[in-house]
Amino acid sequence: MTWKRLWLISAVMTILLGAFHSAGTEMLKKTAGKAEEETFQEGQEENRPLAALTFDDGPSAEYTPRLLDGLKERNIKASFFLLGRNIPGNEEIVERMQEEGHLIGNHTYNHVQLSAISEAEAREEILKTNNIIYEITGNYPQYMRPPFGSWKKNLELCVEMIPVFWNIDTMDWKSQDVSSILNIVFAEAEDGAIILMHDEYETSVEAALQIADHLMKEGYEFVTADRLIVP
């Protein structure tokens, strides 16, 4: 083999090795860039403000299914604090709540002010509703929303439940006005917001879905209430 052929082969090998090196470097840059982008996106998701939509006094045969439809369309999990007296006849709605991943909590049986009755009566109000929910879902509720936000001191020691309060009261039951509800939430919304609503009014369902759409556009993630009260 002549020196010219050797020189030509050497030159070709140099060009090929250079091309492989360049392609490899470019691939590494793209891989590193993609990894950095994914890490940035994950960090953004972790830093998103959180909010919880919570609904008392249900289930409502007329309005709760409409609300569940809207939440499902938006892939939102909410928290429902049920009145025991409203469950009979609406068992399928409670089953759907569980199947779709919502938090199911207790709101007493008769919507009583727990601090105004004896400990035995309070315990009965809570356990009666717990048992009804258990018969439907197979799970005992761990969380409860005390009516009027009135919690009897040390009651959790005898019923083993965690009370869930709120920091945004929409007053939806009183106004039954979509604009009024939206104005309250949009003025007070912040990271960690637990929004109190009721799933027994058409205006509340409409407002809740508008709240969801607006806050998600603002970067909020909706979670169940337990995510915001348990470290």
Q: What's residue 159's pLDDT?
A: 77
Q: Which of 14-23, 86-95, 107-116 bottoms out in mean pLDDT, i.e. has the lowest? A: 14-23
pTM of the model: 0.80
Residues with a known catalytic role: 56, 198
Q: Give strand pairing partners of 169.
A: 196
Rounded CA-CA distance 175/60 in Å is 19
Higher per-residue confidence, 170 vs 23: 170
pLDDT tens figures, 121-160:
988 999 999 999 999 999 999 999 999 998 877 666 567 8
Tabulate helix, strand, coil % of the chain (nearest 5): 55, 15, 30
Q: What's residue 230's pLDDT?
A: 74
Rounded CA-CA distance 33/225 in Å is 36
Are 132 and 112 a contacting pair, CB within 8 Å?
Answer: no
Q: What's residue 11's pLDDT?
A: 47
Higher per-residue confidence, 3 vs 200: 200
Residue 117, pLDDT above cutoff 70: yes
